[in-house]
Structure 1
Amino acid sequence: MKPNAKVLFIGLDGLEPELALEMCEAGELPVLQSLREKGVWGMNASTPGFGDGAIWSSVMTGVNPAKHGRYFYHQLKTGTYQTYFFKEDTDFKHEPMWAEFSRAGKRVAVIDMFHAPLTKGLNGIQIADWLTHDREDVPRSWPPELIKTVIDRYGDDPFGGQADAPGRKTVDYIELYERILDRVETKAEMSCAYLDQGPWDLFMTVFADAHDLGHQCWHMHDPSHPQYDAQLFDEIGDPVKQTYIRIDRGVGRLIEKAGPGATVIVLGGLGMESGYTANFIMDQILRRLESPPGAQGLTYVDKLKEIYRTVAPRAVRKRLGRLGQRSEQKMLVSDRHDRKCFFVPNNDNCGAVRINRVGREPEGKVDPSDLDAYVDELTKDLKDIVNLETGESLVKEVVRVSEHCAGDHLDDLPDLLVEWNRPKPIRKIGSPKIGEIEAEYPGNRTGDHTKRMLLVACGPGIEPAGQIFNTSVTDIGPTIGALLGVTTQDMDGKVILELAATQ
């Protein structure tokens, strides 16, 4: 009997690999541990410095960010000083893997692939922005009528596509946790129902629950976090671990429904840790580095933001979220004209820097012939900054994006990614050049991403070889292609031979 899916891909968005492996060894994630024992597993390499939006986009396209063009939901518009909101359905510069497989005659199902474009005319089905993290558009599908059927039967996202909420109290966190557990069950139930409509050549589904819960509730897991509540932990346990356990059960249901003979690929990440960042003061740092000694590095934009946070109620700030971001960015445009470099929006794991380069920016200040020397000096200045509460360097690494990415859309990306050294909160920093800066993180997320990703695979032809090495997120597309008998075109990755050597 044929399996319901030849290849079953399960994404565990936001899963922390080190915690998951620890739980596997402790017997708390029996399904994932069984896959590890019967097949192979490894820690997938991701492009240094980039966040989840860029990395999952590389997973689904098989190419690096300089080819697919996405690094964040809010990006700089090349050739201007303005930013825009990236639209998944229109702004990607490279198609997702399933479009190529569909053209090759393969029957595919894609459910909530993280920040994925909707592919019309697909030989199969696709659900986009249903039960996902930070919904970028309305829930939609191919064929178009499918999404109504799904929502009528299984309901919509209990968070309306956005789990962030300022000012949560203990009872709110408990409610969030309970809704997350219910959402895991809903995704598993729905995915099993559509697996039953096989056979599929490729069935892809993604659980976003570790991502949402990790951002909102990491302080309920990590005893070292300043907001950790031991009494609450005694009452409800560890919500992060319990969510991983519930997801593991969902993975087991999907594998059982796929049937014997399916090749199962599970990809988890980007991981999570306590969410400390200096992004909220990054532009102030950069201004001070190019200002006369003693300058505060603050603009009228910063002062307006502080007044806004002080005066506007949290509920109002939540409703005005993106409107506020748009207004802020408009005010920043004039400031960027006169700078040598400036901060651009990015995930909290790294500060993103754009160099105001002659010949690329409208009013460039750094000549290409001086670029290397300028970057070297800026890197040294950034690494001289210290977290004054810990005595440690604030900056772990400064990544020059052009050394890790290549493609026609390299100029759509930041020039530098400043990786924060963040074992403790970042509240008071200083260096000889910038003086001291003291500020409190204005956000409500308590967990943020690591750069770790976990790959686990099991199936026909996959020998139980244990841990494998030297795999990349861009290898997923070519490897699935090989399993389906499709030689992929224009992808950066290679076939992972331990998964597809006999195909």
Structure 2
Amino acid sequence: MPARNLFIGFDGSNPDLIDQMIEEGELPNFKRVREASKIYPIENDPGMGAGQFWSSASIGADPSYHGRYFYIQFNPHTYDIVPNHETKLPDTTPFWNELDAEGFKIAVIDWHRINPKPLNNGILVDNWIGHDPLTPPKFFPPSLAETAAQYFTKDAISGGFESRKRETVEDLQEYLDCAFNRIRTKSKFCTEQIKSGDWDLFVACFSDTHDVGHQFQFLEDRDHELYKAETARHLGNPLRQTYREQDQAIERIINGAGPDARIFMFGGPGMETLISANSALEEMLRRIDLGVGAPVSAAEAARNSYRSFFPLSLRRRIAPLARAIRRNVANSEYQRRRFFSVPHNDNAGAIRINVKGREKFGTVEKGAQYDEVIEEVTSALATFRNLATGRPIVKEVIPVQKLFDGPYCDILPDLFVVWDRTDTKRDFRKIASDQFGEIDVKPAIRNGDHNPYGFFWMPSEGGDQIIKRPGDIANAVTNMVRSPGKVEYKSSSISHHV
């Protein structure tokens, strides 16, 4: 059998839209898999975004066991913000490496946001045709790069949508054509690799609904503030087109795996209209911490100038210079701060408490003082409202240390601020607090952003299981790979506090 177990992943896929398109008869191959599966709705860990969704799923645990909450991380020793691959994050072992060590033959193609490790009995491809890769593609064994090059050598959108401006219909269509070609190319590559070996588990992941969802959400809803009828007339509905392309990819891969393959399908977190105050969070926190009249910090002024003068494509190339500037201003800036923002996915802001003994210039004692600061910040954020609607902008403030108890909890932010996207079709423009004044919110580059929802479909012979979070799926897959017949579910050896 070419593949005894087949796992197909869809980064950024929206379960509600998939279900809707299945009912409308547009996704026959998604339907084929769903009808033969046990269905598990997945909700992301509180306040988290896309990166940790897939990282948690890969090791079978929540983010306090791997520390990867975003694609860039805060360094408490330097106050620097650096990409994951340049940090000393915990060394974790994905479930497929555990299976590989047991002698199973495994293939993994483009799992989103992992620290790739070689496989002794199979193949692994990372960042080949994935979402916004931060590093060049990696192939294990390295000779696999030559095979991949026969399918795909030039990727016009590998730097992400924002690598250059795309405003005309022609530019937008070019992007979509590239995205669809990526799906077809990867499905053909995966199909041929499946046929080339007798796999215990073959994992094929696609990230195109992630890319398209971020940039074309404005054509998904006629009420979206950016919706343009003329653009929609030319482009149609890009997100639905992407799902239809992925549906055809499913057919190719399943047919290559053979009729007896057990099929898993995993997707998320989904996409919706971007509504966020992340760009204003640092100003909000500065006023809460230091008072409304406090001057803008040197760090914030430098950051604002940097973003104003340098386009995103250039920022990526001069990132080391920007980080050096941040380190230079840290000595004077952070010795007076009790808390500050750190980068995170747009669904939620992220806040770091400047804790003594953890941060280099910590000002807040762990214990009672820490708890008091958490309460102060939570109460202050609740006073901000969206001036366009009068509604509060904050849906929930999540205290990370109270929800997660893994060994790397201190790597995570201390608070996530989940923005309220209720009853609004447009991003925040101006926010206000009776106590802290008005603040302009800079518009985001993207128009679509992640929601917390995903899905996991698994073969019905897997039995009834408790699968609610991304970290719950790893054991379900590994147990079935280890068992040739009906599976008795074994709970994880790692406790899931959330």
Normalising by structure 1, what TM-score?
A: 0.90
- Once residues 88 and 186 of structure 1 are traced to their aligned partners in structure 2, the CA distance between those partners, rounded to angstroms, is 30
Q: Mark the CA change 1:356 to 1:146 in structure 2 (over 3 Å): closer, same or farther.
A: same
Query: Can you list the C-alpha shifts for 1:362-409, whole angstroms capped at 9, x where unaligned?
Result: 332222222222212211111121011111111011111123322211
How far did residue 16 of structure 1 move? Answer: 1.3
How far did residue 333 of structure 1 move? Answer: 2.3
Alignment-derived partner of residue 288 in structure 2: 289
Q: Mark the CA change 1:192 to 1:121 in structure 2 (over 3 Å): closer, same or farther.
A: closer
| Residue pairs, 1:74-473, within 5 angstroms | 74-87=72-85, 91-170=89-168, 171-295=170-294, 298-312=296-310, 314=311, 317=314, 320=317, 322-323=319-320, 325-327=322-324, 329-330=326-327, 333-334=330-331, 335-368=333-366, 369-422=368-421, 423=424, 424-441=426-443, 443-458=444-459, 461=461, 470-473=467-470
Does the CA contact (< 8 Å) of 2:429 and 2:442 recur in 1? yes
What secondary structure is seen at the aligned counterpart in 2 of 1:47?
A: coil
Structure 1 residue runs without a partner (length 5+) = 495-503
Q: One-letter code of the match for 1:218?
A: Q
What secondary structure is seen at the aligned counterpart in 2 of 1:154?
A: coil
Structure 2 residue runs without a partner (length 5+) = 484-489
How far did residue 271 of structure 1 move? Answer: 0.7
Does the CA contact (< 8 Å) of 2:39 and 2:457 recur in 1? yes
Does the CA contact (< 8 Å) of 1:100 and 1:488 recur in 2? no
How far did residue 29 of structure 1 move? Answer: 1.4
- Once residues 116 and 87 of structure 2 are traced to their aligned partners in structure 1, the CA distance between those partners, rounded to angstroms, is 6
Count of aligned residue pairs for this structure pair:
485
Q: Mark the CA change 1:481 to 1:319 in structure 2 (over 3 Å): closer, same or farther.
A: closer
How far did residue 488 of structure 1 move? Answer: 9.0
- Residue of 43, 58, 61 corresponding to 2:59: 61
- Residue of 34, 38, 56 corresponding to 1:40: 38
What secondary structure is seen at the aligned counterpart in 2 of 1:265?
A: strand
- Once residues 87 and 126 of structure 2 are traced to their aligned partners in structure 1, the CA distance between those partners, rounded to angstroms, is 10
Does the CA contact (< 8 Å) of 1:165 and 1:444 recur in 2? no
Alignment-derived partner of residue 498 in structure 1: none
1:480 aligns with 2:477: yes
- Once residues 351 and 230 of structure 1 are traced to their aligned partners in structure 2, the CA distance between those partners, rounded to angstroms, is 33
Q: One-letter code of the match for 2:65?
A: K
- Once residues 297 and 84 of structure 2 are traced to their aligned partners in structure 1, the CA distance between those partners, rounded to angstroms, is 27
What secondary structure is seen at the aligned counterpart in 1 of 2:405?
A: coil
Normalising by structure 2, what TM-score?
A: 0.91
- Once residues 313 and 86 of structure 2 are traced to their aligned partners in structure 1, the CA distance between those partners, rounded to angstroms, is 27
Higher mean alpha-carbon deviation, 168-177 vs 326-335, is at 326-335
What secondary structure is seen at the aligned counterpart in 2 of 1:148?
A: helix
Q: One-letter code of the match for 1:288?
A: R
Q: Mark the CA change 1:94 to 1:7 in structure 2 (over 3 Å): closer, same or farther.
A: same
Q: One-letter code of the match for 2:434?
A: P
State the Cα RMSD in Å.
2.4
- Once residues 493 and 15 of structure 2 are traced to their aligned partners in structure 1, the CA distance between those partners, rounded to angstroms, is 29
Query: Can you list the C-alpha shifts for 1:20-66, whole angstroms capped at 9, x where unaligned?
Result: 11111211111112222222212113211111111110011111111
- Once residues 283 and 153 of structure 2 are traced to their aligned partners in structure 1, the CA distance between those partners, rounded to angstroms, is 44
Q: One-letter code of the match for 2:375?
A: D
Does the CA contact (< 8 Å) of 1:398 and 1:418 recur in 2? yes
How far did residue 350 of structure 1 move? Answer: 0.9
- Once residues 144 and 324 of structure 1 are traced to their aligned partners in structure 2, the CA distance between those partners, rounded to angstroms, is 32
Q: One-letter code of the match for 1:482?
A: N
Query: Can you list the C-alpha shifts for 1:72-129, whole angstroms capped at 9, x where unaligned?
Result: 1211124442332211897343211111100100000000111122212431000111
Does the CA contact (< 8 Å) of 1:47 and 1:404 recur in 2? no
- Once residues 187 and 345 of structure 2 are traced to their aligned partners in structure 1, the CA distance between those partners, rounded to angstroms, is 28
Query: Can you list the C-alpha shifts for 1:194-219, whole angstroms capped at 9, x where unaligned?
Result: 01112100100110111111112211
Identity of aligned residues (%): 33
Does the CA contact (< 8 Å) of 2:462 and 2:476 recur in 1? no
